[in-house]
Structure 1
Amino acid sequence: MICKLCPRMCGAVRDGSTPCHSAGEMRIARAALHFWEEPPISGKNGSGTVFFTGCPLWCRYCQNYSISRGRTPGRAVTPRELSDIFFDLIDGGAHNINLVTATQFIPGVREALMMRKLPVPVVYNSSGYERKESLQSLEGLVDIYLPDFKYAQTKLGEDLSNAPDYPGTAVSAIHEMVRQAGPPEYDGDGMMIKGVLIRHLILPGHTKNSIAALELIAREFPGIPVSLMAQYTPWGEAKEGIENYPELSRTVTRRELLKVQDALFELGLEGFVQSRKAMGAEYIPEFQ
């Protein structure tokens, strides 16, 4: 497979040494009910979450570092096996099927979703670093898009994720998500059944980036809610310390959270604000 699925457009043969650390076969590291998403995603029963290995975005602080960088290889699955996993999760009570970092396996995921129509919403849980053309191949198969918008500052995207094109690329991708799914729609129990919800993770020492990101979201995506996350936990390279970014070896302070939260309210953005209590290694799933 000559791969051009993500914005890096590397054209690499998928042999495992690719920028996304993925071979041609789909691999997953965890499939389980997950209770730590936003309330209208997790609900009471949990979100049926499937974590895929590899990732096109190289975040040096990634909470899923072991699987995003290929250190935990996970389990190879066929589209048929993946479809069976979806239905096993649904039988377990999952409110939805939540695809985490599936970019590098979109063709196989698409095939799995087309085999049997799911009786619950499909969530595409993404870093925001996506090709519009790849997202278009999922139209009609994804009900809810849950993208990050990590950086408004180009240099931060370059230094921390090797993606200087992140801001513009993510804006373009999220516009495509909004075109497909629109603003959120909820059922009678308050569970999200359709739409887009944008996440932003506050990075310690970088409230200016967060405020700029919120301003951009308010300008580009009116009516789309934001989930403001304070869960940052030093992980990956950040756990040992990153040169020129020593602040990433600590958690977000209460003052930093309140500063960004105030900006969220001043901009009139709707959504969710996560408590700082949600930070810590105990909130990072175990991968196999």
Structure 2
Amino acid sequence: MVLHQTEPNYVKLHSSGELKKRAETAIARLAECTLCPRQCGADRSHDEPRGSFCGIGRYAWVSSAFPHHGEEPCLRGWNGSGTIFFSGCNLRCVFCQNNDISWYRTGSPCDAQRLARLMIRLQELGCHNINFVTPSHVVAQILEALPIAVEEGLRIPLVYNSGGYDSVETLHLLDGVIDIYMPDIKFTDPAVAERFAHAPDYWEVCQAAIREMHRQVGDLILDERGLAVRGLLVRHLVMPNGLAGTEKAMRFLAEEISPHTYVNIMAQYRPEGRAWDFPEIARRCTPQEYQEAVAIARRLGIYRLCRD
């Protein structure tokens, strides 16, 4: 479907005061944090978090913010996707390519004013969207910054670029705020998820999250220029030895979400971080493994596959 771009819905939520109310709700939950599926109950209301899994306290930490030209074509367009990379994560993927960011608190803390200013700056640079990378643990901070950014003129789509380990209750706070959801489907086997991400409930959580994301935004919609405006885009990284569970993942999308789901089956797995300690993932994927994953998706009815 092609759609002429209109003003994002989050602007209307701000005008009604709803955006501020949701921010206040989310910020209040930091005191005994239940914002992500870890449900750790840590006190994140201070600069130094007390026992939080993600390691992030009252303020989000931003590692970098820039126009990204390596995202999917419908996101990067010609001016880039305005990525904001958050430090910390609610997963512990041993093979993470951004291990220095996700496992540790790197970069610098951003209060609401500074985070809003980053969004505005990326819009001024001509970026087609604001792409929140690894946002699951900083939803409260994003919501707090958005009213300021809207007041300063933010009007481009918002992308929620997550590992797929998201709380449905927290996603409810983002209903009408996020334009484009871009979750991963990393694993479908609980034992694999526990071994490589310390999250045995990953697949159960991920399915519920994707159902809620799709309920909110539907299938991916492009404008007349081929840019994503609204909808769901799923990433699936092919791993060695079939460990990502591609068939179960694609069947879920085709049968329980929508056969029109836009999917990026990614071939760029390489051993990073601590992957060398795990023999079954201590190598790149073969071309055959990737082609088999694509063939599975097509056989199950997933036809909107990302192509550079």
Q: What TM-score does the superposition give when structure 2 sets the normalisation length? A: 0.84
Note if 1:30 corresponds to 2:71: no
Kept after mapping to 2: 8 A contact 1:152/1:216: no
CA distance in structure 1 between the partners assigned to 2:242 and 2:307 by the alignment:
17
List alignment gaps of at least 5 residues for structure 1. Answer: 276-288
Of 240, 256, 261 in structure 2, the residue corresponding to residue 224 of structure 1 is: 261
Q: Which residue of 1 aligns with 2:271?
A: 234
Q: How far did residue 216 of structure 1 move?
A: 1.8
Write out the 4+ residue segments of structure 1 that deviate beyond 4 Å after TM superposition: none
Q: How far did residue 207 of structure 1 move?
A: 5.7
Note if 1:125 corresponds to 2:161: yes
Equivalent residues in 2 for 1:48-197, closer than 5 Å = 48-70=82-104, 73-117=106-150, 118-197=154-233
Relative to structure 1, the CA distance from residue 235 to residue 227 in structure 2 (aligned partners, 3 Å threshold; closer, same or farther) is same
Does 50-59 or 208-217 show the bigger shift?
208-217
Q: How far did residue 21 of structure 1 move?
A: 2.2
Kept after mapping to 1: 8 A contact 2:238/2:244: no
List per-residue Cα deviations over 1:230-270 (Å, max 9, x = no partner). 111211111x322xxx1311111011011111111111202
Matching residue's letter, 2:274: E
How many residues are treated as equivalent by the alignment?
Answer: 270
Matching residue's letter, 2:165: Y
List alignment gaps of at least 5 residues for structure 2. Answer: 1-30
Q: Which residue of 1 aligns with 2:7?
A: none
Does 54-63 or 17-26 show the bigger shift?
17-26
List per-residue Cα deviations over 1:194-236 (Å, max 9, x = no partner). 0001111111112671222112221221122211011112111
Matching residue's letter, 2:200: P
Relative to structure 1, the CA distance from residue 56 to residue 207 in structure 2 (aligned partners, 3 Å threshold; closer, same or farther) is closer
Q: How far did residue 87 of structure 1 move?
A: 0.8
Q: What TM-score does the superposition give when structure 1 sets the normalisation length? A: 0.90
Q: How far did residue 171 of structure 1 move?
A: 0.7
CA distance in structure 1 between the partners assigned to 2:182 and 2:306 by the alignment:
15
Does 264-273 or 145-154 show the bigger shift?
264-273
Q: Which residue of 2 aligns with 1:13?
A: 43
Q: How far did residue 28 of structure 1 move?
A: 0.4
Kept after mapping to 1: 8 A contact 2:119/2:149: no
CA RMSD after TM alignment? 1.5
Other structure's SS at 1:197 match: strand
Give the share of equivalent positions with the same residue, in percent: 37
Other structure's SS at 1:116 match: helix
CA distance in structure 2 between the partners assigned to 1:103 and 1:258 by the alignment:
31
